[in-house]
A = this chain, B = another copy of it.
């Protein structure tokens, strides 16, 4: 077995990261919707950890892009704008596309994990479980990225997908968005297994284009009164239209 993986999982030190894991899960579950402020005191008591440990977890998640840290104001669940969606998909096209083209030299077992993700999505779709379809879809794309056999590339995609979950959370009824793509996933896998990475690349890019477009169409309208994320959008400081 690959002991290095297990060791990496064990090594990663104590409470701080574990607290970050819990918070990450809760955020991607939608318990803390984008824009929510995460109170130190409330979370400290709820999780039963010290303030220092909690702040360590905050820093980690802020560095991952799931939280924004505003000085003397606290941390907030990040709120992404339409522009972020475009950026995320542009980056995904580059990275996932390259990973697919490099599938010929993929590490052993990597392609099987793609297949497993496809089958998981199909099974979930058969059960009508949209949430599971979504997570399986995420796993599919992570597996696609892993085909490159490049840890840094995989880690980057992991972060991009985590951010993308924030987008889904901001869109009501975003679960249905994953459903139509199960067939695309299957086709991409089939082409990869058949040794036709160029074709798989074409289908993947078409998939990403379509997914981005639908996501942008379903994007919530302008958040007039609220703060549109720190530093991303135009300031729109104090102007509150009646």
Contact = CB atoms under 8 A, between A and B. Distances in A.
A91 B87 CA distance: 18
Q: What copy number does this chain have within its complex?
A: 2
A65 to B, nearest CB: 8
Contacts of A14: 71
Contact of A4 (B16, B70, B148, B235): B235
A119 B230 CA distance: 35
B11 A91 contact: no
A150 B90 contact: yes
A231 B60 contact: no
A135 interface: no
A17 B199 CA distance: 45
A52 interface: yes
A60 B91 CA distance: 24
Given A98-B94, A152-B87, A160-B152, A69 B235 contact: no
A87 B11 contact: no
A201 to B, nearest CB: 13
Given A87-B151, A160-B152, A11 B70 contact: yes
A56 interface: yes
A55 interface: yes
Interface in A89-116: 90-91, 94-95, 98
Given A91-B153, A152-B87, A71 B11 contact: yes
A113 to B, nearest CB: 19
A94 B91 contact: no
Contact of A95 (B8, B59, B94, B232): B94
Contact of A69 (B13, B94, B151): B13
Contacts of A56: 55-56, 59
Interface of A: 3-4, 7-8, 11-14, 16, 52, 55-56, 59-60, 63, 69-71, 87-88, 90-91, 94-95, 98, 148, 150-153, 156, 160, 230-232, 234-235
